[in-house]
């Protein structure tokens, strides 16, 4: 009977490992290896770390945006305020350097973000956009623990359009946004340039009108990876495919199960 239970346990673990999607087995997708990122050619993204000046968009003092960036928001929802997040106010809201971009609402929901169009892009080349993002969404003033609902993602329009709702925009996570509460999270997306200009988007959505709905972004990077592929996502060099990931996890889980089986079948001293 003990052997039957052990065999059933091994079978269950193997089935789980081979049936679950890779995103259920790992918290994040496979990103580019560091060697690929370090040897890539950066594009001329202006003020990517938000260490430059902040200017009032259209002269509005509540819309202070990092130089080179433009704010956007859903006109059917509340317009958030934009400002510089400074390390002198809260170091945890800055990923590196002394500044980050912040937008926020009080007791209101929003869909909003920033964008920047970049020119002189090599057509047909695979591009990578990266950014660090953070959200604070809470009904109270505990600034270290969110209890609201806020999602973020980044995107690339390979045609250089300026509409974040366009179907041309390629979003991180296949369009699935993350909830990066109370600490910075890394996002990455790839697309093949279809024009000599592309647009980088940062997207944030507050779903609940709680007291604090704050979004932060810092250290954005845009670079050329290499030749793109028409009609298919650009492959990640050195990254494991989903079947490979499942196979590795299957083997590891089966090995653990066998160790448990050996332990269970060994008579107690």
Report the pLDDT value the prediction gives residue 33, as an integer from 0 to 100. Answer: 59
CATH architecture group of domain 31-239: Sandwich (2.60)
- Nearest-CA neighbor of 73 among 257, 250, 201, 219? 201
- Nearest-CA neighbor of 216 among 127, 100, 91? 100
Report the pLDDT value the prediction gives residue 159, as an integer from 0 to 100. Answer: 98
Q: By percentage, how much of the chain surpasses pLDDT 90?
A: 68
Per-residue pLDDT averaged across 163-169, rounded?
Answer: 97
The length of the chain in residues reads: 269
Contact assessment for residue 189 and residue 154, using Cβ atoms and an 8 Å cutoff: yes
Kindly report the average pLDDT of the chain as a whole number: 82
Report the pLDDT value the prediction gives residue 26, as an integer from 0 to 100. Answer: 34
Q: Distance (Å, rounded) from C-alpha 185 to C-alpha 202?
A: 13
Give pLDDT tens digits for 23-55: 333 333 456 655 456 557 899 899 999 999 999
- Nearest-CA neighbor of 249 among 8, 27, 15, 6? 15
Looking up tokens 């050329």 gives 224
Give pLDDT tens digits for 105-148: 999 999 999 999 999 999 999 999 999 999 999 999 999 999 99
Q: Distance (Å, rounded) from C-alpha 44 to C-alpha 181?
A: 30
Residue 242: which H helix or E strand, with range?
A: helix 242-265
CB atoms within 10 A of CB 133: 28
pLDDT at 94 over 80: yes
Report the pLDDT value the prediction gives residue 47, as an integer from 0 to 100. Answer: 97
Contact assessment for residue 189 and residue 170, using Cβ atoms and an 8 Å cutoff: yes
Report the pLDDT value the prediction gives residue 265, as an integer from 0 to 100. Answer: 63
Give pLDDT tens digits for 235-254: 444 444 444 445 554 565 56
Report the pLDDT value the prediction gives residue 262, as an integer from 0 to 100. Answer: 66
What is the rounded end-to-end Cα distance, in angstroms, of the chain?
A: 20
Residue 162: which H helix or E strand, with range?
A: none
Q: Check residue 178 and report its DSSP letter.
A: B
Q: Distance (Å, rounded) from C-alpha 179 to C-alpha 129?
A: 19
Query: Tokens at residue 229, please?
Result: 């592929």
Number of separate helices (H) and strands (E) present in the chain: 4, 13
Phi-psi label, residue 124: left if phi above 0, alpha if psi -120 to 50, beta otherwise: left
- Nearest-CA neighbor of 74 among 112, 31, 45? 112
Per-residue pLDDT averaged across 8-15, rounded?
Answer: 49
Give pLDDT tens digits for 147-160: 999 999 999 999 99
pLDDT at 20 over 60: no
| Global pTM exceeds 0.75 | no
Report the pLDDT value the prediction gives residue 225, as an integer from 0 to 100. Answer: 87
Report the pLDDT value the prediction gives residue 268, as an integer from 0 to 100. Answer: 56
Q: Check residue 87 and report its DSSP letter.
A: T
Query: Tokens at residue 27, please?
Result: 């918290």
Report the pLDDT value the prediction gives residue 212, as an integer from 0 to 100. Answer: 97
Contact assessment for residue 115 and residue 69, using Cβ atoms and an 8 Å cutoff: yes
With vertex at residue 33, the alpha carbon angle to CA 31 and CA 37, rounded to the nearest 5 degrees, is: 95
Among the residue ranges 55-59, 61-65, 140-144, the one predicted with the least confidence is 140-144
Confidence of residue 259 (pLDDT cuts 50, 70, 90): low
């Amino acid at each position: 009977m003990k052997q039957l239970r052990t065999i059933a346990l091994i079978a269950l673990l193997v089935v789980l490992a081979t049936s679950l999607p890779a995103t259920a087995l790992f918290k994040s997708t496979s990103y580019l290896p560091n060697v690929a990122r370090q040897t890539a050619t950066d594009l001329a993204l202006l003020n990517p770390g938000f260490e430059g000046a902040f200017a009032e968009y259209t002269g509005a003092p509540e819309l202070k945006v990092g130089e080179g960036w433009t704010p956007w928001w859903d006109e059917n929802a509340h317009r958030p305020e934009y400002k510089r997040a400074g390390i002198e106010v809260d170091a945890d809201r800055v990923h590196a350097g002394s500044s980050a971009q912040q937008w926020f609402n009080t007791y209101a929901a929003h869909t909003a973000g920033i964008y920047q169009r970049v020119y002189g892009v090599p057509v047909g080349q695979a591009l990578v956009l990266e950014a660090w993002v953070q959200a604070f969404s809470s009904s109270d003033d505990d600034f270290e623990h969110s209890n609201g609902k806020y999602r973020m993602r980044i995107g690339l329009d390979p045609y250089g359009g300026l509409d974040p709702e366009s179907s041309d925009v390629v979003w991180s996570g296949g369009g699935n946004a993350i909830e990066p509460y109370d600490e910075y999270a890394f996002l990455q997306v790839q697309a093949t340039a279809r024009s000599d200009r592309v647009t980088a988007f940062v997207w944030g959505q507050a779903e609940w009108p709680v007291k604090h709905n704050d979004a932060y972004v810092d250290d954005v990077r845009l670079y050329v990876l290499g030749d793109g592929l028409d009609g298919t996502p650009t492959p990640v060099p050195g990254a494991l495919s989903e079947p490979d990931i499942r196979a590795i996890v299957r083997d590891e889980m089966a090995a653990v199960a066998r160790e448990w089986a050996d332990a269970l079948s060994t008579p107690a001293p």
